[in-house]
Structure 1
Amino acid sequence: MKVRKAPARQNPPRSVETRGVEAANRPVTIVIADDHTIFREGLRRLLEAEPAFRVIGEAGDGTEAIQQVRQLKPDILLLDILMPRVSGLQVLDELSAARTSVRTIVLTAAIEPSKAVETLQRGARGVLLKEASTAHLFKCIRCVAEGQYWVGREEVGNLVEYMRREVSAAQDARERLGLTGRELEIVSAIVAGLSNREMASQFAISEQTVKHHLTRIYDKLGVSNRLELALYAIQRRLVDESGP
């Protein structure tokens, strides 16, 4: 009697959701671009101690930074604004023109508010001072990798003062835009750099309620993220001088 072998068991195909979870769980790939070798090496060691990050390349000048991004296609580029050969701003222009998927975080020892605004306008997704804590650096990378913008609370405060001095706001903007009192409080908190959790605690509401408020605010003002909302609010003086 001939015994037929049972067909080999095959694993079911992975669903789109499963592949998405796997992609979300992979390390964030990073290229470091800075002309100071000691700083690059120290930053690499710091990042490689965190399992969620993987440094896949380094660049010592702007030209090399562009080449590394094009060849390695990292998730994140940590870019010094003052680079030899090609400046950090020129790197941002080149990467924006090439429509690369990389998200750039500008690292700098110091930056004027006007220059911070310019870097964001030219394609940066984050601005962080080199003196920032490790916790802030890691949080910044995670937020930007998830598609958000990052401007540390101190930088936001400086931007607020700069935009208030330089940009004339429309009169009675609050009434014309139809924002409620609570929505104006949320806007003010966003400009101050508060997270959803911090706003929920401050206003004694849930984080989900904060998200609902933000969705309505985005719809009313025609913005799509926290950075656009903050800049919009500053330009039109939707926030009080004293903050939230």
Structure 2
Amino acid sequence: MANRETRFSTGSVPSADNGSASSSPRLRILLADDHPVVRIGVSNMLLHDASFVVVGEAANGEEAISRTVELMPDILLLDLQMPRLPGLEAMRTIMNGSPTVKIILLTSTITTQQIIEALQVGARGIVLKDALTDHLTTAIRAVSSGDYWIGGRRVANLVNALHELMQQNAKPDRKTYGLTPRELDVVGCIVEGCSNRDIAKQFSLSEETVKRHLSNIFDKTGVSTRLELALFAIAHQLVAPRP
């Protein structure tokens, strides 16, 4: 990903309690990222906003933990991928020892499963590095006010957000080619090398019924032999893999 940190825009100064930003306590921010250019860029952007103050920096996961304990910032901007200790592992330790800090993960890329894990551990926001200029200050304000920042938007209800993410992360239903549950059972037996007699005995069926099931299965899958059916079933994941 091309670095965009040298082209940060300045954020607007928010009002708080109907007063000016200069009369309100500034948010104390700790920045943890192993790339100096990112730390410099983010620091420069935040310095231009009177509502933020960068109180320290860290270059790896272990430093992020020690500096958080030492400085007790309001917000920790934490890189997901860092040397010595990855961001998620550092966050676990930090949340055990300093649960009041609000953590926003900075990352170049992240999977839905990682987002779910990060939120469950205690992250309050996730900001992609290629969207820093558009989202970072807004995300900080959202998180500092008690909301979450997920997928480039402010989220007030974490439970609903996690439910949506888990639905997105769910594996799609496998294609069954119109096979009934019993026909899928028969397919599983064919993959295991069972004879018609074995299948009949296992499911308390007559061999004629098994033959009828096989005929229907052949029609639905477009195969014509037991070997072709077994290969088709494995290739299309019609049967669960054996441990």
| TM-score, normalised via structure 1 length | 0.56
Unpaired stretches in structure 1, ≥5 consecutive residues: 1-17, 154-192, 196-224, 238-244
Aligned to 1:76: 75
Change (3 A) 1:117 1:233: closer
Pairing 1:226–2:157 present: yes
| Deviation of 1:122 (Å) | 1.1
Aligned to 1:106: 105
Please give the per-residue CA displacement for 1:196-222, whole angstroms capped at 9, x wherever unaligned. xxxxxxxxxxxxxxxxxxxxxxxxxxx
| Deviation of 1:236 (Å) | 7.4
The question of whether the paired residues in 1 share the 8 Å contact of 2:21 and 2:50 is answered with no
| Deviation of 1:99 (Å) | 3.9
The question of whether the paired residues in 1 share the 8 Å contact of 2:31 and 2:56 is answered with yes
- Paired AA for residue 102 in structure 2: R
1:26-41 matches, cutoff 5 A = 26-41=25-40
Q: Distance in 1 between the 2:51 and 2:27 partners?
A: 6
Pairing 1:146–2:77 present: no
Please give the per-residue CA displacement for 1:66-98, whole angstroms capped at 9, x wherever unaligned. 111111110000000111111101111101211
The question of whether the paired residues in 2 share the 8 Å contact of 1:70 and 1:100 is answered with no
Runs of 4+ in 1 over 4 A off after TM superposition: 21-24, 233-237
Radius of gyration: which is bigger?
A: 2
Please give the per-residue CA displacement for 1:172-212, whole angstroms capped at 9, x wherever unaligned. xxxxxxxxxxxxxxxxxxxxx578xxxxxxxxxxxxxxxxx
1:1-244 matches, cutoff 5 A = 25-153=24-152, 225-232=156-163
Q: Distance in 2 between the 1:133 and 1:22 partners?
A: 22
Change (3 A) 1:107 1:22: closer
Aligned to 1:198: none
Change (3 A) 1:53 1:194: closer
Across the aligned residues of Structure 1 and Structure 2, the Cα RMSD in angstroms comes to: 2.6
Change (3 A) 1:226 1:56: same
Q: Secondary structure at the match of 2:84?
A: coil
Q: Distance in 2 between the 1:145 and 1:97 partners?
A: 20
Identity of aligned residues (%): 39
| TM-score, normalised via structure 2 length | 0.56
Q: Distance in 1 between the 2:92 and 2:23 partners?
A: 28
Change (3 A) 1:54 1:152: same
| Deviation of 1:50 (Å) | 0.7
| Deviation of 1:24 (Å) | 8.8
Q: Secondary structure at the match of 2:73?
A: coil
The question of whether the paired residues in 2 share the 8 Å contact of 1:125 and 1:148 is answered with yes
| Deviation of 1:229 (Å) | 1.9
Please give the per-residue CA displacement for 1:109-133, whole angstroms capped at 9, x wherever unaligned. 0111111111111111101100114
Q: Distance in 2 between the 1:229 and 1:106 partners?
A: 20
Unpaired stretches in structure 2, ≥5 consecutive residues: 1-16, 169-243
Q: Distance in 1 between the 2:44 and 2:164 partners?
A: 39
| Deviation of 1:227 (Å) | 2.1
Change (3 A) 1:234 1:130: closer
Q: How many residues align?
A: 150
